[in-house]
Structure 1
Amino acid sequence: MDIEFGTDGWRTTTESFTGARIRAVGQAVVDHLRAAGEDAPVAVGYDPRAGSRSAAEELCRVLCAGGFDAIVPPRDTPTPIVAWTVTDRDLAGALQVTASHNPPTDNGIKFIPADGAPALPDVTDRLAAELKPPEPLAEPEWGSVEETDLIEPYIEHALAFVDADLEGRTIAYDGMHGSGRGVTNRLLARAGADVEARREDADPEFGGTAPEPTPEHLVDLAQMVENDGAELGIANDGDADRIAVVTPDRGVVDPNWLFAALYDYCLGTDDGDAVRTVSTTFLIDRIAEAHGQAVHETPVGFKWVADAMKEHDALLGGEESGGFGIGGHLRNKDGVLLALAVAAAHSEEPLDDRLDRIREEYGDIVQDRRSVDCPDDRKAAVLEGLAADLPETVAGTEVERVGRDDGFKLLLDDGSWLLVRPSGTEPKLRIYAEAETRERLAELLAAGEALVEPLL
């Protein structure tokens, strides 16, 4: 059956998101959990897309027929809340019906193991190999379905976990019609903030755009911060595992800089290493070094970040796409709790002031990426071609070291870097670069394109 688990679950078009495929994924999870000796209930969550609730109900039927009790919320629920519930209630795992920030024409399923972290490839490969129609047990062995709210217990936990007094703060929140609506803003309000919310209605079409909190999708939120009196803006993607932040001076904050601000805030009360992906800023390394901490680099994908967070007992993990997880809470991306943490950091020191201070203390960085079309069946050959003839200099600067954890990361002796890696979700190569000026950044990105184009 044509189902592939990518960097974060199975995603596909709604046309391919058929009942037969949904049931096959459910049966694969039943077989996997049974083989692992699990017998605790399984949570089944879903986002507000058309068909997500019915797909969740289909998964519940398969789980129950396989002998597992299922827990399902009465409304669409953020992925991180479902993941946290797994750890809080000692569940066998969870299935979340969502395509995250993909367009409304897509849907998908994430499997979350018992530790609440993203499933690693050894698990998802096993699921993909076990796809088959349901094999129900005898009816007396069937499990049952419990419909229960997952949001309020999570909010109580979040308020206890993050020390946030937001009295007197005015925060604008953009739910983007996703699962964070009525949840993230509710959490902020419970912490004392005056929250002005927009796109608060459930819309399976997400207003006609992908529920991805990028600058072009957050124009109105930026307007609320710039002109309408809100001192901070916060947005979540479709399943609320990612976060974007808007400030008066910067507009939508670059996620690399947001990571730096969060790590700076967390280090104010605790010690701990950081984990970042190969495509995420070295600014994190500078902050860690100044505090006597270490940084651990991983391939792109939060599953690798979560795994390294466990190995190194990290304080914070993150990636340049706006996904962050705090150690001691959940080894998974969580745009809901991180919204509270960002607001708490801003309450302690205005976020623009904090970012200015970080720039003064650790230096400036700018980062960007470009995408180059590359069929999936050509990616390996392109990487082999790069490996056979890696340059000694890039844009006139000597290559000091080459990282090979995910594609090729060329670290230059002026502190800048260039990364070429295959996309895990599209027929493209990604070219990332980081430098201290935009002029230098443009040179590096152009050099990256020139490296790969002859190999395509």
Structure 2
Amino acid sequence: METIRFGTDGWRATLEEFTAPRVRMVGQAVATYLADEGLEGPVAVGYDARETSRGFAEELARVLCSNGFDVLLSERDRPTPLVASAIADRDLAGGLVITASHNPPEYNGVKFIPEDGAPALPAVTDAIAERLAEPDPLPESDHGTVREVDFAAPHADAALELVASITGGTDLSGLTVAYDAMHGSGRDTTDALLERAGATLERFRCDRDPEFGGGSPEPAAENLAALIETVTDDDSDADLGIANDGDADRLAVVTPDRGYLDENLFFAALYDYLLEDASGPAIRTVSTTYLIDRVAEAHGETVHEVPVGFKWVAEAMADHDALVGGEESGGFTVRGHVREKDGVLMALLAATMHADEPLDDRVDRLLETHGTVVQDKISVACPDSEKSRVLADLEGVIPETVAGTAVEDLNTADGFKLLLADGSWVLVRPSGTEPVLRVYAEAGDEKRVRELLEAGRELVEPLV
């Protein structure tokens, strides 16, 4: 039981630890939790494209069924946000998804999604962790049923309807989108949705490969070389590039002028676009750009900062009736949709934005108006068992200056965020999914960001 730890977005581990008996214990814990909470409806079970995911999903389905719950099992691997949407739309008791998202193929994971479709908060995951136990089946006469269902079609209908309500329509005819599924569960889902809206598709890695081509299904610039080369080629027909991570809850955008579009810049462009016809605050994580705040101020709106983790974004979106919520790692959702990051919905919205006005033009205008913003991050290896100690030690050595600039304020909502006198900042926080500490920095140019990241590394590494 002590091996099963729910982090930022569920429990992930290598297949040496992520075993069928432990998955069954999670299934029993969820069944017990739902019963204790008086939630009696069906439960959704989804899974990603990894070799072992379907088998683990079937294990969960059997445990839930033996505890009296009817189970809606995805008919094939599908994006995590499709399961979240199904839970909310079908009034289900909750759901489970077998996925390790962007982690390499030797990992797998499981996440629980409550009845509202938003990410589970710690009170819920703690309650589930307290109930970890071997399966305890009811008499066979009390067992539920398992039915395979299609989560894709209802989600596509809802996405098209929502984006049309935001933009006035979703006619992408005349737009060519290069789409990279990275061999993950976005294939035949994100591309199919864009095609249904009228776009012409050029597909990359849209076949299922449980090994993800020997890498990780992480849509970072260094992993999207072919997509970037295609979209930025003057002789290419592609107008826009879109990529999803392994379970397609996040997206990356590639534009003809910029190539890989920094997620912070996409977030700012998205918020600016939404504010043309709507109003409301934005929710961003502590690691996300202050450019969002500048866009909000220009429109008379506000921004609420939360710790890293989309669960905190989702909670704040409900508390503040936010128009949009997002994080610098490429996870976003908008008002009117389930409060879970959705790389499929956002692909459609990004393409529709680009059809209305090239994203490069909007970003250029935002930077000209609000000033250049550059952000980057690095990782410092740190065992999970040492993270708390390192952060405790860091508290005692916070410097008065970083890279020659005075520290004006300190934000401890999630790790340590040092706000500097020149408007730049450095953040050190523990990863919730990997044995590393993240060091983030934001400033007005790349040289300054590199200086800040190096200063952050020099501050943290001696403590590990």
Are residue 5 (structure 1) and residue 11 (structure 2) matched? Answer: no
CA distance in structure 2 between the aligned counterparts of 1:426 and 1:179, rounded to whole angstroms: 22
CA distance in structure 2 between the aligned counterparts of 1:370 and 1:205, rounded to whole angstroms: 25
Find the counterpart in structure 2 of residue 203 from structure 1.
209
Kindly report which structure 2 residues correspond to 1:41-190, keeping only aligned pairs within 5 A, or say none.
Answer: 41-163=42-164, 164-190=170-196
Kindly report which structure 2 residues correspond to 1:179-328, keeping only aligned pairs within 5 A, or say none.
Answer: 179-227=185-233, 228-328=236-336
| Matched positions, count | 456
Q: State the 1:206 CA deviation.
A: 1.4
> Which one-letter code corresponds to 2:449 in the other structure?
L
Q: Deviations for 1:234-271, whole angstroms, at most 9, x for unmatched residues?
A: 01011100100111111111111111111111112211
Q: Deviations for 1:283-330, whole angstroms, at most 9, x for unmatched residues?
A: 000001111111111111111111111111111111111111112101
Secondary structure of residue in 2 paired with 1:71: strand
Are residue 21 (structure 1) and residue 22 (structure 2) matched? Answer: yes
Question: Cα distance 1:427–1:175, how it changes in 2: closer, same or farther (>3 A)?
Answer: closer
Kindly report which structure 2 residues correspond to 1:342-353, keeping only aligned pairs within 5 A, or say none.
Answer: 342-353=350-361
Deviates most, 90-99 or 379-388: 379-388
- The answer (yes or no) to whether the contact 2:74–2:149 under 8 Å persists in 1 is yes
Find the counterpart in structure 1 of residue 345 from structure 2.
337
- Calculate the TM-score normalised by the size of structure 1: 0.98
Equivalent of residue 416 in structure 2, options 408, 420, 438: 408
Q: State the 1:371 CA deviation.
A: 1.7
Q: State the 1:380 CA deviation.
A: 2.5
CA distance in structure 1 between the aligned counterparts of 2:47 and 2:408, rounded to whole angstroms: 46
CA distance in structure 1 between the aligned counterparts of 2:218 and 2:434, rounded to whole angstroms: 16
CA distance in structure 1 between the aligned counterparts of 2:217 and 2:181, rounded to whole angstroms: 9
Q: State the 1:15 CA deviation.
A: 2.7
- The answer (yes or no) to whether the contact 2:12–2:433 under 8 Å persists in 1 is no
Are residue 378 (structure 1) and residue 386 (structure 2) matched? Answer: yes
List structure 1 segments (4+ residues) > 6 angstroms apart after TM superposition.
Answer: none
> Which one-letter code corresponds to 2:129 in the other structure?
A
CA distance in structure 2 between the aligned counterparts of 1:429 and 1:45, rounded to whole angstroms: 30
> Which one-letter code corresponds to 1:150 in the other structure?
F
CA distance in structure 2 between the aligned counterparts of 1:437 and 1:367, rounded to whole angstroms: 8
Deviates most, 161-170 or 89-98: 161-170
Q: Deviations for 1:95-145, whole angstroms, at most 9, x for unmatched residues?
A: 001111111111111100001111111111121221111111111111111
Equivalent of residue 418 in structure 1, options 416, 426, 431: 426
Are residue 453 (structure 1) and residue 461 (structure 2) matched? Answer: yes
**Unaligned runs of at least 5 residues, structure 1:** none
Q: Deviations for 1:382-436, whole angstroms, at most 9, x for unmatched residues?
A: 3223322422222222222110101111111211111111222233222111000
Q: State the 1:454 CA deviation.
A: 3.7
Equivalent of residue 371 in structure 2, options 363, 371, 377: 363
> Which one-letter code corresponds to 1:214 in the other structure?
A
> Which one-letter code corresponds to 1:277 in the other structure?
T
CA distance in structure 1 between the aligned counterparts of 2:300 and 2:141, rounded to whole angstroms: 58
CA distance in structure 2 between the aligned counterparts of 1:213 and 1:383, rounded to whole angstroms: 29
Q: State the 1:23 CA deviation.
A: 0.7
> Which one-letter code corresponds to 2:408 in the other structure?
E
CA distance in structure 2 between the aligned counterparts of 1:378 and 1:78, rounded to whole angstroms: 33
Secondary structure of residue in 1 paired with 2:249: coil
Deviates most, 221-230 or 343-352: 221-230
Secondary structure of residue in 2 paired with 1:430: strand
> Which one-letter code corresponds to 1:450 in the other structure?
E
Q: State the 1:440 CA deviation.
A: 1.5
Find the counterpart in structure 2 of residue 443 from structure 1.
451
> Which one-letter code corresponds to 1:39 in the other structure?
E
CA distance in structure 1 between the aligned counterparts of 2:14 and 2:387, rounded to whole angstroms: 23
Deviates most, 275-284 or 439-448: 439-448
Question: Cα distance 1:247–1:90, how it changes in 2: closer, same or farther (>3 A)?
Answer: same
Deviates most, 419-428 or 182-191: 419-428
Secondary structure of residue in 2 paired with 1:126: helix
CA distance in structure 2 between the aligned counterparts of 1:423 and 1:185, rounded to whole angstroms: 31
Find the counterpart in structure 1 of residue 41 from structure 2.
40
CA distance in structure 2 between the aligned counterparts of 1:414 and 1:152, rounded to whole angstroms: 49
Secondary structure of residue in 1 paired with 2:95: strand
- Calculate the TM-score normalised by the size of structure 2: 0.96
CA distance in structure 2 between the aligned counterparts of 1:375 and 1:46, rounded to whole angstroms: 28
**Unaligned runs of at least 5 residues, structure 2:** 165-169
Find the counterpart in structure 2 of residue 390 from structure 1.
398
CA distance in structure 1 between the aligned counterparts of 2:325 and 2:379, rounded to whole angstroms: 25
Q: State the 1:215 CA deviation.
A: 1.0
Secondary structure of residue in 2 paired with 1:162: helix
> Which one-letter code corresponds to 1:171 in the other structure?
V
> Which one-letter code corresponds to 1:185 in the other structure?
D
